[in-house]
Structure formats: structure tokens, C-alpha cells
């Protein structure tokens, strides 16, 4: 559903240690299914070896998941928040993948790597924190190799009423703080119409708009040399069906 209401921005970086801890708890408890769907999409759209970059990695759960399900891949995760990066490093150690991932504090608006450095570049649930996402998307386009994969996914903005309904349905078991954060993220996100306009302005070829269920939309491009052997992360078949990418253009 397209929202006519304007975006209500959230703070850009998630900086306080309480917020970071709460977010990590939320990802582990409730977002694994969402994360697994995205992890599977990134892995299957990308080569089976090389260097991957995550922009806005938060507490690192997506890069950690990719490291666990693959071999021969080196990952870098960047985030504006020093506390997110600190927790991401601890999480990678705890999950025993710290040798495969380098987490560092950096701004997606100015990615500290050379042109054409990465075989896969991806970004999940981060763009709704940013007023103008184009500099970040164009930085991602700059650092991905010419034939590399490009995968972005984020929430779809809804009206206040629909956001409230989503939060109380999909976030039924969330606590008060989590519900508030979820609602604020939906209201800060881009509408489908805005998303379609953004994709036209990214300096990279062969992008597709995608949608996942009624909650998320994405921007995707598979690598020319993507892996032959697709990986399959266990999810219930129902969840898998609704999370499956639907190409909309
Ligand atoms: C909602 S979290 C998502 C984290 C992770 N991608 C996930 O899906 O679990 C958004 C993250 O984007 C980060 N962020 C916001 N603006 C950023 C920027 N300009 N550059 C890098 N990271 C940024 C925030 O600090 C926060 O950690």
C-alpha cells in the first residue's frame, strides 16, 4: 500500500549502548526469519568466494549469518555507530567467525574503499535512517565490482493507522519499546513510489525492484558469476513462500 503521508525521520545512527543491546536482543529473538531470508538472497545472488561488504551492519547478525553458511568469503561490515560495531565484533567472536569478518566504524556516505573492490555489496533495514539515500546507494555502486551483486532491502512506509496495525499484528509479542521502535521505522521508511524513483537514480546497471510480502521492498542485482549451488536456509515452507522475492520490475 502506498502511503501519502510524509516520512517521519528517526535519528540516523543507533548509538546508545541500551538501544544497541535492545536491538541485538530483538534481532535474535524476532528477526531471525527476516534476516535468514535476506542472508539466503545475498548468498545465492553472489559468487561463492570473494570479498563482501555490508553497509549499516548494526550488531553484525547478517554478515555473521553469511559467514556461517559459506566458505571462502571475506566480509567487511561498516556502521556509523561505534557501539553497534563493538557489539558486532563481540558477536562475531562468540559465533567463531571473527577471522572471516572485519567490522569497522564508517559512514555509508563515504565508504573507505576503492572503486570496484567488492564481489557483493548489501544493506538491510538501514536506508530508512537516512534522509537522502542516494549518496549511500551510489557509494555502494562505486565499490561493487562491475559484475558483482547488489542487494538492498528495507521496510515499506505505511500510514499511521496501517503502521499501528502492522506493529500490533507482526510485532504482537514485542514489548512496548520494541513496538515503538518498529512503528517509528515504518513511518521513516520510503513509500513504494519513492523507492521506484530512487532506483532510477543509482549509478549502476541491471537493477530490479523487488518486494517481499507486504512489509519490505528491495533493490537487487545478481552477480554475473553467481554461485551454481544455491544454499537453502531452513525456514518453514509458509514463511519461505511469503519471503520469496517477487520481482516487480
Ligand atoms: C535498523 S539498524 C539495521 C542493522 C542491520 N542491517 C540489520 O538489519 O539488523 C540500522 C543501522 O544503520 C546504521 N546507520 C545509519 N546511518 C548510517 C550511515 N550513514 N552509515 C553507516 N551506518 C549507518 C545505524 O547506526 C544502525 O546500526
Residue 242 alpha carbon to ligand 1 centre in Å: 25
Q: Specify if 133 maps to a domain.
A: yes
Q: What is the pLDDT of residue 238?
A: 56
Residue 158 in contact with residue 129, Cβ under 8 Å? no
Q: Specify if 180 maps to a domain.
A: no
Q: What is the pLDDT of residue 171?
A: 81
pLDDT in tens, 204-213: 999 999 998 8
Residue 61 in contact with residue 28, Cβ under 8 Å? yes
Q: Specify if 165 maps to a domain.
A: no
Residue 231 alpha carbon to ligand 1 centre in Å: 26
Q: What is the pLDDT of residue 249?
A: 44
Ligand 1 pocket by Cβ (under 6 Å): 12-14, 27, 55-58, 61-62, 78-81, 84, 107-109, 124-126, 129-130
Q: Specify if 140 maps to a domain.
A: yes
Query: What domain range includes position 75?
Result: 17-156+190-247
Q: Specify if 170 maps to a domain.
A: no
Q: What is the pLDDT of residue 242?
A: 60
Q: What is the pLDDT of residue 1?
A: 45
CATH number, position 147:
3.40.50.150
The residues of the chain scoring below 50 in pLDDT are 1-2, 249
Look at residue 58 and give its three-state secondary structure.
coil
Cell of 37: 531470508
Q: Specify if 70 maps to a domain.
A: yes
Residue 111 alpha carbon to ligand 1 centre in Å: 14
Amino acid at each position: 500500500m502506498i502511503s501519502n503521508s510524509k516520512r517521519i525521520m528517526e535519528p540516523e545512527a543507533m548509538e546508545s549502548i541500551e538501544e544497541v543491546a535492545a536491538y541485538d536482543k530483538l534481532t535474535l529473538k524476532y528477526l531471525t526469519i527476516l534476516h535468514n531470508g535476506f542472508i539466503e538472497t545475498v548468498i545465492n545472488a553472489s559468487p561463492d568466494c570473494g570479498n563482501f561488504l555490508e553497509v549499516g551492519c548494526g550488531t553484525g547478525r547478517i554478515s555473521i549469518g553469511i559467514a556461517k553458511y559459506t566458505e571462502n568469503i571475506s566480509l567487511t561490515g561498516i556502521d556509523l555507530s561505534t557501539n553497534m560495531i563493538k557489539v558486532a565484533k563481540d558477536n562475531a567472536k562468540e559465533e567463531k567467525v571473527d577471522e572471516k569478518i572485519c567490522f569497522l566504524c564508517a559512514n555509508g556516505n563515504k565508504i573507505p574503499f576503492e572503486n570496484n573492490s567488492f564481489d557483493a555489496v548489501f544493506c538491510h533495514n538501514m536506508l530508512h535512517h537516512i534522509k537522502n539515500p542516494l549518496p549511500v546507494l551510489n557509494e555502494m555502486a562505486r565499490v561493487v565490482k562491475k559484475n558483482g551483486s547488489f542487494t538492498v532491502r528495507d521496510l515499506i512506509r505505511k500510514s499511521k493507522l496501517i503502521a499501528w496495525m502492522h506493529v500490533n499484528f507482526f510485532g504482537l509479542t514485542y514489548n512496548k519499546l520494541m513496538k515503538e521502535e518498529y512503528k517509528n521505522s515504518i513511518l521513516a521508511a520510503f513509500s513504494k513510489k519513492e523507492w521506484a524513483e530512487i532506483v532510477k537514480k543509482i549509478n549502476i546497471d541491471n537493477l530490479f525492484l523487488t518486494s517481499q510480502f507486504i512489509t519490505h521492498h528491495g533493490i537487487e542485482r545478481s552477480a554475473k558469476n553467481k554461485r551454481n549451488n544455491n544454499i537453502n536456509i531452513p525456514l518453514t515452507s509458509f514463511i519461505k513462500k511469503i519471503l520469496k522475492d517477487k520481482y516487480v520490475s
